[in-house]
Amino acid sequence: MGIDVSLLALIRKPLQRGLKPWPVVRPLRFAMASGLLVGCWALVISSGVFESLVAAASPPSFSADIAPILQKNCVACHSSSTKMGDLVMDSYDALMKGGIHGSPIVPHNAHGSRMALMLEGRVEPRMPFGADPLPATDIAMIEAWIDAGAPGPAASETTKPLTAAPIPEIKTEVPVVSPVAAVKFSPDGKLLAVGGYREVRLLDPGTGKVIATLSGHADYVRSIAFSPDGKMLAAGGGPPQQWGEIKIWDVQSHQLLKTIQGHNDCIYSIAWSPDGKLIASGSYDKMAKLWDASSGKELFNLKDHIDAVFAVAFSPDGKRLATASQDRTVKIWDIATGQRLYSLSDASDGLTALAYSPSGDRIAAAGYDKTIYIWRLGKDDGHLDQSLIADEDSILSLVWGLGGKVIITSSSDGSIRFRDAATLDPIRVIDHQPDWVEALSMSPDGMRLAAGRFNGSLSLYDLENYKEVRGQIMAFEPRQPTAANENKQVAQ
């Protein structure tokens, strides 16, 4: 069956541009997430569990009872392509063969089986990794199946391989350049880190030359944070609808120090605490998390937003974390307890960008409603200080810089605007950007502004005269097209 080409183009464009998921993409993504991942299997499980448990006449069947649980909760990380812990679950045989620790299943002995122990949280890390534990009925079903000898599919049963939920991968027809999804100056200003598709490039901001490429990221690197001493760099991202990933790199040696995985969807924003001890992440899965930067252990899951978390920022004194969400709110959290202190809910649409004033007494946020909001922050609550419709289209990025005097925004109207932070009066516009400026970073000395664009280009502006320092820099080489014909399959 064919599909109207223009319709496909309509779907594809926001998907490709969708580093920040625009409203058009969201219904599609939710339909995929709830319909394909949950809907059909949830029905199978809910109608099956109690009858089998109560009746217990015959042991649970792998195909009818166990496979749907694995399909829904495990295969995204345990398919032949993801293979976490070296464990593949796309078939009964692969599951029984096991992973790093051998077979996770000891037939007739659920309580001696690694899989059951990990589902119960008695062996760390608890599975499913980074998500809520399985419902007790699912765990009981798996244990009953193991205790019954963990029988495989009957010879008469046709078994189709378990596969991760289909995420339509949009193939490219022409060479593509990775968008610049993140830029960040190092604390000493000597490096500019640029995040894109599966890599971080370290550039010399003086010459524009690439010094190093940090590769091996699972998907787009959507956010970069340096440790306060500048020795380490954290890069956040992860595959949409699957998991969040933070890779921590040694900035001198370019060695990978650690990979942290968590969340049930990709990470959009990370921040490193001023004392260097914590990393915060915000994800499309509506959660923000606080991680111990040295062990990679999750300390708090900050659960209160009702939609994607697009931006996180530590207060300058390191005592609080602010999160900004598609749910139109900014929330302020206590770092020591993980408790939410209060919510700032004046915005009329999703918020994509967030920045504390250098003194920490105010916070600015902006997003789809084109407005800059500035709140004055108290101990137990905050109030709106000022707001201004600042751009002609969604605001993509916001920096509060130059000793707190200037607020800079980039917008999908093609501009970078500088405003007086006290009055929000315009100071300067750098207009006619060749593409959306997804990411901004100001050098620590306030001399340079780096602007990374959706078309993969990067410019450095001199903040004395607002001129581009040298021509546009391409941070990433074009990637060759992937089989153009496969587009047709996506459309069917």
Residues that bind ligand HEC (CB under 6 A): 73-74, 76-78, 84-85, 87, 98-101, 104, 114-115, 118-119, 125, 127-130, 134, 243, 261
Q: Where do we find the tokens 């319709």?
A: 7
* Residue 270 vs 321, nearer CB to ligand HEC: 270
In the complex with ligand HEC, the residue whose CB is nearer, 222 or 417, is: 222
Nearer to ligand HEC, 120 or 385 (CB): 120
Neighbours of 427 (CB within 10 A): 15
Give 243 or 400: the residue with its C-beta nearer to ligand HEC.
243
Of 84 and 447, the one with the shorter C-beta distance to ligand HEC is 84
| Least gap, CB of 265 to ligand HEC (angstroms) | 10
Q: In angstroms, rounded to a whole number, what is the distance separating the alpha carbons of residues 383 and 376?
A: 5
> What does the DSSP assignment read for 40-55?
HHHHHHHHHHHHHHHH
Query: Measured from the CB of residue 134, what is the shortest distance to ligand HEC in angstroms?
Result: 6
CA-based nearest residue to 260, from 320, 217, 226: 217
Kindly state the smallest distance separating residue 261's Cβ from ligand HEC, in Å. Answer: 6
Cα angle 36, 40, 43; round to 5: 150
Min separation Cβ 270 and ligand HEC, Å: 18
Q: Which is nearer to ligand HEC, 199 or 245 (CB)?
A: 245
The nearest distance, CB 1 to ligand HEC, in angstroms, is 33
Q: 402 burial class (0-12, 13-18, 19+ CB within 10 angstroms)?
A: middle
The CB-of-237 to ligand HEC minimum distance in angstroms stands at 14
Least distance between ligand HEC and beta carbon 131 (Å): 6
Q: Do residues 352 and 366 make contact, with C-beta atoms less than 8 angstroms apart?
A: yes
Residue 219's contacts (CB-CB under 8 Å, 6 or more residues apart) are 197, 198, 237, 238, 239, 240, 245, 266
Task: Give the type of residue at 307.
Answer: D
Measured from the CB atom, is 73 or 433 closer to ligand HEC? Answer: 73
* Shorter beta-carbon distance to ligand HEC: residue 145 or 373: 145
- Residue closer to ligand HEC by CB (options 98, 189) is 98
CA 249 remoteness from chain centre: 18
**What's the closest the beta carbon of residue 50 comes to ligand HEC, in angstroms?**
20
**Integer Cα distance of 194 and 440 in angstroms:** 11
Nearest approach, Cβ of residue 10 and ligand HEC (Å): 31
Nearer to ligand HEC, 119 or 450 (CB): 119
Q: Which residues pair with 429 in a beta bridge?
A: 417
Which pair of tokens denotes residue 318? 């390191």
Alpha carbons 204 and 202: distance in angstroms, whole number = 7
Burial of 291 (0-12, 13-18, 19+ CB in 10 A): buried
182 touches 194 (CB < 8 A): yes
Shortest CB 298 distance to ligand HEC, Å: 12
Continuous segment of H or E residues that includes residue 5: helix 5-17
Cα 302 to Cα 339: distance, rounded to the nearest angstrom: 8
Distance, CA of 199 to CA of 454 (rounded, Å): 15
CB nearer to ligand HEC: give 98 or 153.
98
DSSP letter for 334, please: E
The whole-angstrom separation of Cα 489 and Cα 73 is 26
* 3-state secondary structure at position 32: helix
Greatest CA separation for the chain: 81
CA atoms of 280 and 290, how far apart (whole Å)? 5
Minimum distance of ligand HEC from residue 86's CB (angstroms): 6
